[in-house]
Amino acid sequence: MNTALIVAAGSGTRAKLSKSKILYPINGKPLFMYSVDTFFGLGFDIVLVVSKDDYQEVRKYISDEVKLVIGGKTRSESVMLGLKSVITPYVYIHDAARPLVSKSVIADMEKALEYHDAVLLAEKITSALKKFENNKVISENRESYLLAQTPQAFLTEKIRYAHIRNDKSFDDDISLYQNFYPDDKIHVVINEENNIKVTYPEDILFVKQRLERDDDMRIGHSFDIHQLAENRKLILGGVEIPHDKGLLGHSDADVLLHVITEAMLGALALGDLGTYFPNTDQSIKDIDSSKILIYVYNMIREKGYEIGNIDATVYAELPKLNPHIQSIRDSIASKLHIQVDKISVKATTYEKMDAIGEKKAMAAEAVVMLKKVTL
């Protein structure tokens, strides 16, 4: 188990806001909660260090699982106070002002901690690096320099010892650690993803735009099962499949199109198929499920979204569907006017178990990713 010690105790005066920058709302969520949610989603314990003035406001957003600590006059003092509440072997010290830190980078750091007691997250310098000295511009080898980021990760007892016994000023926790353990190797994880620290008003605008992009993609999922019955056509993906039985339902019972359609609705939280096509409506008895698919997709388009990709699976003992997969994909692509390579359709048996394995039913499930239409 690891702990994320998230420092959110600064005043943020350079951001020129009417309130602390860590409380600035983006998508209805204060800035500091993006870091909390990222680490919490990875199973971390959370210690959140905040200023006394922000304590009551922050408390409104967090659960009892988060340890809330009032910080000190300096960042170093705030970290030290937070470390007193850490009980896990390893701690990741992170600035709440870096809300874009990714789970993949944290995972890379976790692997590095298997072999090292201190890990620095950093980015490479890509611009030409110069030093101005004695009215001269001197070129430096940029390969020898890094821009430090957070989180910075440590063996808890070692960094806690360093903080408690420290009486000097250091620019970050890695510098403090190295002062106390000069013989230790600091492992560096290079971060190629944007992990900007919010400092100035323009930083807030950039982060706001990045975080609001999260809503550009929406994912929906659906599962459905239909009984097999005689004297019914077997329709899957809008394609008639030769078989001695078909699927039972109020419509043509195309279970594959049903799950794809309902997954689209689910992605935008628009309800289910029964909301729009109830089985009590006799006017749509035996309706072609392709019409249902197209109707719902037009709704999705009106909401400003299009299909990113579809991944669907059909569960059936018989007939063997692999010979028909390409025709099914082509059929769905033509109805939605999208490229066929955005559609995955797989078929599998149910290993002779339950109603599907006994050839009494067929089922399907689908995951649909929608993305915002860009002009």
- Structural domain includes residue 337: yes
C-alpha torsion 149→154→160→164, nearest 10: -40
**Would you give the DSSP letter of residue 373?**
P
Judge if 171 and 122 occupy the same domain: yes
Which helix or strand (DSSP H or E) is residue 356 part of? helix 354-357
- Structural domain includes residue 205: no
Judge if 158 and 42 occupy the same domain: yes
Number of domains into which the chain is organized: 2
Judge if 262 and 368 occupy the same domain: yes
**Cβ-contact 264, 220 below 8 angstroms:** yes
Q: Which residue has the tokens 């019955």?
A: 229
Judge if 60 and 179 occupy the same domain: yes
- Structural domain includes residue 204: no
Question: What CATH number does the domain containing 273 carry?
Answer: 3.30.1330.50
**Cβ-contact 296, 330 below 8 angstroms:** no
Strands (E), 96-142: 118-124, 129-133, 136-140
Judge if 172 and 236 occupy the same domain: no
Q: Which residue has the tokens 């698919």?
A: 293
- Structural domain includes residue 130: yes
Judge if 262 and 344 occupy the same domain: yes
Per-residue pLDDT tens over the stretch 29-67: 899 999 999 999 999 999 999 999 999 999 999 988 999
More confident residue, 105 or 209: 105
- Structural domain includes residue 67: yes
Percent of the chain whose pLDDT exceeds 70: 96
Alpha-carbon distance values, 225 to 39, 264, 287, 315 (Å)? 38, 18, 18, 9
The residue among 150, 165, 199 that closes a domain is: 199
Judge if 145 and 222 occupy the same domain: no
Per-residue pLDDT tens over the stretch 323-349: 999 999 999 999 999 999 999 999 999
The residue among 199, 225, 249 that closes a domain is: 199
Rounded Cα–Cα distance for residues 188 and 196 (Å): 18
- Structural domain includes residue 209: no
The residue among 143, 174, 199 that closes a domain is: 199
pTM of the model as a whole: 0.60
Q: With b meaning 16 or more CB within 10 Å and e meaning fewer, what string describes 195-228? A: bbebeeeebbeebbeebeeeeeebebebebbbeb
**Cβ-contact 124, 189 below 8 angstroms:** no
- Structural domain includes residue 211: no
Span 172-194, mean pLDDT? 95
Q: In which domain, by residue range, is 148 found?
A: 2-199
Judge if 195 and 330 occupy the same domain: no
- Average pLDDT taken over every residue of the chain: 92
Judge if 153 and 17 occupy the same domain: yes
Judge if 59 and 193 occupy the same domain: yes
Per-residue pLDDT tens over the stretch 139-179: 989 888 999 999 999 999 999 999 999 988 899 999 999 99
- Structural domain includes residue 210: no
Question: What CATH number does the domain containing 82 carry?
Answer: 3.90.550.10
* Residues whose CB is less than 8 angstroms from the CB of residue 99 and which lie 6 or more positions away in sequence, other chains included: 26, 31, 32, 34, 35, 198, 207, 211
Judge if 181 and 306 occupy the same domain: no
Rounded Cα–Cα distance for residues 337 and 158 (Å): 60
Judge if 76 and 180 occupy the same domain: yes
